[in-house]
Amino acid sequence: MGLSNAKVEPAIPVSDMTKAREFYEGKLGLSGGRPIGDGGITYPVGSGRELDIYPSPANAGASGGTIAAWEVEDLAKTVDELTAAGVVFEHYDGERLKTDARGIATMGEDHMAWFKDPDGNFFGIAEL
């Protein structure tokens, strides 16, 4: 039993579904979303997974940490494409985490970048 073999899907609380759709569809390029019963939308993403956004103004952006991350083959290309679409990447200059001018951090052989949606929910993109 347990959850170790169960499929998991991120569910993202947002304050304004119209603004959220503009971001997730217009800037991130998600498509094929289907309505869900709580007034939200479920988008298909890679490897048969889905990403749910749902209206929950009191909880939107409340996490403060990365709530979902995509794994991509070419992080630099993906960051450039998303930047051109209007996505703003986070920049860090700390002891443990530093990003370059594009917002890409190198951690050993792994590379990662982070951005926020309009509500301040944090997302990551990784090239592992």
Position 1 scores a pLDDT of 61
User: What are the pLDDT digits (tens) for 12-22?
Assistant: 999 999 999 99
Q: What CATH number is given for 11-127 in this structure?
A: 3.10.180.10
What pTM, to 2 d.p., does this model score?
A: 0.92
Burial code of 67-91, b = ≥16 C-beta within 10 A, e = fewer?
Answer: beeeebeebeebbeebbeeebebee
Give the pLDDT score at 62.
95
Domain spans of the chain, in order of start: 11-127
The predicted pLDDT at position 128 comes to: 87
Give 23-81 pLDDT, tens digit per residue. 999 999 999 999 999 999 999 999 999 999 999 999 999 999 999 999 999 999 999 99
Report the relative pairing of strands 50-55 and 122-127 from DSSP bridges: unpaired
